[in-house]
Structure 1
Amino acid sequence: MKLVIQGKNIEITDSIRSYVRQKVEKAVQHFQTMTMEVDVHLSVARNPRISPKQTAEVTIYMNGAVVRAEESSENLYASIDLVADKITRQLKKYKEKRKTHTSIKAAAALGEEVLETVPDVSDVSDVLNNRTPELPAEVVRTKYFAMPPMTVEQALEQLELVGHDFYVFRNIETNEINVIYERNHGGFGVIQPRNTSTNGTNGHHTNGNSAGALKSSVNVS
């Protein structure tokens, strides 16, 4: 298992590195055969208005899955403890789903209308939490990861594992890049690129699947 530890506004000492390794190895002890890499990012906020200040973020790259957790406190070691506990819970949840999960059962367990149609551009603002879109002054971080084709149901599972508001994936049915996201008003939406079936116009299209879940698409120019 490859362990990468990075720090921002903090020196990664031997004691910190040893503590992180101990906690991470304990968290993934039952998943080491399927764990390819663990990235740990430790940071300390210099802005006095930010509280809590010390953050530990862990991202685990597994065979066909990514598990992520982040915790903050006023003590770095406490943050490491918290994020290790959270990762342990996430991995247990992932293991349980692997035992019982099928695409139909997963959709049914979340309700027949888990994936709801995105009717117009205003609905996409849910992704931005109703904030006006703003580009950052600069790109502060770049991440690369494998993108094997997966079903919408598998992407929904990944969305829950990484703890983000959205998840980018390659749709196994179309081999195109899609985005699944959590809507503020409940349920989930799927953003898909425009295709010829939409006659070149923006809009939405609703299909029923075998689980009764509603898939959605919004055309992206």
Structure 2
Amino acid sequence: MEIVVVGRHTEVPERFRRHVEEKLAKLEQLAPTAQRIDVEITHENNPRLADVRERVELTVRAKGPVVRAEAAADDRFGALDLATTKLAERLRRSRDRRKDHRKNAVQPPVDVRPFDPDRDAPAPEPEAPTHPATPGEAVESQMGDSPVVIREKLHSAATMSVDDAVYEMELVGHDFFLFVDAETHRPSVAYRRRGWSYGVIALDTSCAGD
């Protein structure tokens, strides 16, 4: 299993890279088919955010749904510990679900707990944008002369049921999840509402104008 460590707005010392590899190697038994784990370290320079100045995002890429977890703390070692704990819980959930599918058993309710990921929000298209060329690739661009930075990412259009979409949304810790509804064949988004409730918004492409 390959472990790729990158830093955003920060240098990642070799000592910390070795610590990451040793810690994540213990998760291989929970994800035996994992091909790679991407580790992204982000440093926040704002002194008002000193308590969460180090953010660690972990993404497991394997055959099947992507599993992701992230956490922030005042140091990157603490953030890594928190993110690894979340990731282990989601990997166990994914493993248990696969076992249930193999047994053709009735699926138990999804273990839903609130998360607070710092995700991208829809924004006006920047002037002369540079679009990502491949799924999973993120491209950042500045909107005109303003200080606003737009981060754009291309996703594959996966066809699945609403139940599977909610399940995969929980695995990556997002507040929303894009998919193609297997029943209606419409581009849709599942999103988290208050409490333990979810919503789904679908696009009716048949009424799109020229």
- List gaps (5 residues or longer) in structure 2: 111-121, 125-142
TM-score (norm 2): 0.71
TM-score (norm 1): 0.68
Deviation of 1:104 (Å): 9.6
Deviation of 1:37 (Å): 2.6
Q: Aligned partners of 2:76 and 2:170: how far apart in 1?
A: 25
Structure of higher RCO (CA pairs closer than 8 Å, 6+ residues apart): 1
Preserved CA contact (<8 Å) 2:73 2:79: yes
Deviation of 1:58 (Å): 0.5
Q: Which residue of 1 aligns with 2:36?
A: 37
Q: Which residue of 1 aligns with 2:138?
A: none
Preserved CA contact (<8 Å) 2:186 2:205: no
Partner AA of 1:36 in structure 2: Q
More strand by percentage: 2
Over the residues paired in the alignment, what is the CA RMSD in angstroms?
3.0
Partner AA of 1:57 in structure 2: E
Alignment of 1:1-221 (within 5 A): 1-32=1-32, 34-50=33-49, 51-101=51-101, 105-106=106-107, 109=109, 135=124, 137-139=148-150, 141-184=151-194, 186-196=196-206, 200=207
Alpha-carbon displacement from aligned partner over 1:35-56 (angstroms, at most 9, x marks no partner): 1332111011100111321111
Identity %: 29
Secondary structure at the counterpart of residue 6 of structure 2: strand
- List gaps (5 residues or longer) in structure 1: 111-132, 201-218
Provide the aligned length of Structure 1 versus Structure 2.
175
More helix by percentage: 1
Preserved CA contact (<8 Å) 2:178 2:188: yes
Q: Aligned partners of 2:17 and 2:180: how far apart in 1?
A: 35
Alpha-carbon displacement from aligned partner over 1:178-206 (angstroms, at most 9, x marks no partner): 1001112651111111155xxx5xxxxxx
Structure whose CA Rg is larger? 1
Check 1:23–1:143 CA distance in 2 against 1; reply closer, same or farther (3 A cut).
Answer: farther
